[in-house]
Every structure is written in C-alpha cells, then in structure tokens.
Amino acid sequence: MSLIRYYSPELSTWSPFDRLASLRDEFNRLFESGAESSAREHGLLAAWAPALDLYQDRDHVFVKVELPGLKKEDIEITVHDGALSVSGERKEEQENKEGDSFRSERVFGRFHRSVALPAAVDAGKVTASYKDGILTVTLPKAEEAKPKQIEISAS
C-alpha cells in the first residue's frame, strides 16, 4: 500500500474588479466592430471632456485642467456670468505612415468644459499658465466675495 500525500486545496481569490475588466472587454469588442467606424463618422465617439479640478482659498479660485498633447494656441478660456469655460481642439497626429493602426484609444477633436465658479471673480485679473499638459487658471476673487472681519463695538 502506498501513501498519498495530502495537499490542502488552493483557495482561488476572486476580485470584483475582474468582472468589471470582463465587462470592459465586452464593450471594447462591441466598438471594435464596424459600429465603431460608423459612430466615429457621425461624431458619436469624437467628443471628449478633459479632467478638471477646482479649488479655492481666501483670495483666489483655482482651476486645473488636464490637456496633454495640446498647444497653448489650441486652448480658449473665457469667464462669463459666474462660469469659467475652457475649450479647444486636440488634432489627430498622422505619424503612422506604415500600415494601419492596431489599436487606437486616444480621442481627438473639439472639447468644451464649463464650470460654475463658487465666488464672484475679478475677470480683468484672471491669469492662466500651461505646463506639462496641465492648464492652471488663477481667478482672483472680487472684493465683495472675500470674507470680511467685522469689528464689534462696545456699547
């Protein structure tokens, strides 16, 4: 009689994110079919919205927008009626001269983002800088929007 060594069964680790990855793959397969080219021709997949952060301190409102691959000449910024709007266009690059694309996930075309400002700003003093694909807009708050310290008089 021979002995057989006992091995404890391995527990498989299940992650809920595995199911999300599978769902994403299904969507990719759906759009990699002929429907993708038709949707692109009709502009359904052409729109994109860059990520945006907005925060404030006592004197300023700051907005940072991710715009990698754009030139500053391709970006337009406006302040109107308590909202900041950033728009522009990411132009498609034609670097691949040998063969067709195997996979293309970057989105090109026009974009437009508008965000309501949390306080009144002095539009004449707004500044913007663009470095390493990040647009930073600094909006000084209008005097009436800044907090005021009120003196208490003794009576």
Class at the top of the CATH hierarchy for domain 47-92+108-145: mainly beta
The confidence score (pLDDT) of residue 1 equals 59
φ and ψ of 97, to 5 deg: -100, -10
Please tell me the distance from the alpha carbon of residue 78 to that of residue 123, in angstroms, as a whole number: 9
Residues paired with residue 60 on neighbouring β-strands, in sequence order: 140
Orientation of helix 34-41 relative to helix 16-31, angle to 10°: 70
| Domain spans of the chain, in order of start | 16-46, 47-92+108-145
CA-closest candidate to residue 116, choices 79, 88, 144, 142: 79
CA-closest candidate to residue 90, choices 44, 46, 136: 46
The confidence score (pLDDT) of residue 36 equals 46
φ and ψ of 63, to 5 deg: -130, 130
The confidence score (pLDDT) of residue 9 equals 63
Please tell me the distance from the alpha carbon of residue 132 to that of residue 111, in angstroms, as a whole number: 19
- Order of strands across the sheet with 109-116? 75-80, 83-90, 109-116
How does pLDDT run along the chain (155 residues), one tens digit per residue?
566 666 666 655 556 666 677 777 777 777 665 554 544 444 444 467 899 999 999 999 999 999 998 999 999 999 998 999 999 998 877 666 666 666 777 788 899 999 999 999 999 999 999 999 999 999 999 988 777 777 888 87
